[in-house]
Structure 1
Amino acid sequence: MDTNQSIELAKNYVTLSNDHNLPLIQLLFADDATYHSAYFGEYKSSAAIHTMMASFFVCFPDAHWEVAEYRGIEDNGVEFNFAMTGMDTSSGEQVKRQGLERIYFTPDGLIKHIAVLKPHN
């Protein structure tokens, strides 16, 4: 897989996330995928990641990610800085978070790992 393919896959993931399309998002992950978020913890397996995302979208029903630039990195990876906005239903407060996300793909284009880092990492 080349860098442009990886970047297109990452863009698709962000688009589906902004659409809150959990059924299609779940299809993007390898069964044994892992997800580490500095904000929400560690998840192992596509099923565990899907459950976390479903809970996230309940807590942030209007979550939206802005990404200005996608960069190819090693190991079929893509990284990008993001700004996430949304209303936290548990507190009623508008939230804006910034961070760096890295998505790594299998050779056949499935997500094998996501790392979400806070801006200072």
Structure 2
Amino acid sequence: MINPLEIAKYYFQLSNDSNFDEITKLFCESSTYRSGKGELFLGVNDIMTMQRLYHGKFARLQWQVSSVIETKPGIVHFTFNFVGEMHTGEIVEYSGLEDVVVYDGKIQHIQVRRL
């Protein structure tokens, strides 16, 4: 991947596949993540633990990107819709905004805001 936009799009693709091994490679020890519930995670290990727990709640899940734009160099803004089916059969749906900050080929920060 050459540019931040491609890296950010790839991150969404990997998230839809729950491909944790490849997602891990996109972060670094100083990466941070603020979830849609306001929780803050520091470092690749903390971020990946959170992601595994979140994905593990669902039998199926998918983020559908409505729009994506690099608002400034290295800052990629997404609007998305999420649909997931929990193991109980309950359907979870929400929309949100996500900013992905990429520097030197790694995701430095992700911030999610549910709408």
**TM-score, normalised relative to structure 1:** 0.87
Tell me, in whole angstroms, the C-alpha distance in 2 between the residues paired with 1:60 and 1:40.
20
The counterpart of 1:96, out of the listed 93, 99, 107, is 93
Q: Which runs of 5+ in 1 are unaligned?
A: none
Distance 2:58 2:39 in 1: 17
Q: Distance in 2 between matches of 1:74 and 1:30?
A: 21
Superposed displacement of residue 74, structure 1: 2.7
Task: Encode CA deviations 1:8-63: one digit per residue, 9 max, x unaligned.
Answer: 11110000111110000011002110000123611111100000011111102311
Is residue 2:10 matched to residue 1:12? Answer: yes
1:31 and 1:45 in contact (8 A); partners too? yes
The CA distance in 2 between the partners of 1:6 and 1:41, in whole Å, is: 24
In 1, Cα distance between equivalents of 2:50 and 2:38? 9
SS in structure 2 of the partner of residue 55 of structure 1: helix
Query: Is 2:40 the counterpart of 1:42?
Result: yes
Q: Which residue of the partner structure matches residue 64 of structure 1? A: 62
Pair 1:27-2:25 in alignment: yes
Q: Which runs of 4+ in 1 moved over 2 A?
A: none
- Overall identity of the aligned pairs, in %: 32
Give yes or no for contact 2:66–2:81 (8 Å, CA) kept in 1.
Answer: no
- Structure 2 unmatched ranges of 5 or more: none
- The CA distance in 2 between the partners of 1:61 and 1:49, in whole Å, is 21
Number of residues of Structure 1 aligned to a counterpart in Structure 2: 114
Specify which structure has the higher proportion of strand.
2
Contact 2:60 2:85 in 1 (8 A): yes
Q: Distance in 1 between matches of 2:95 and 2:84?
A: 12
Asked if the contact 1:75/1:104 (under 8 Å) is kept, the reply is no
TM-score (norm 2): 0.91
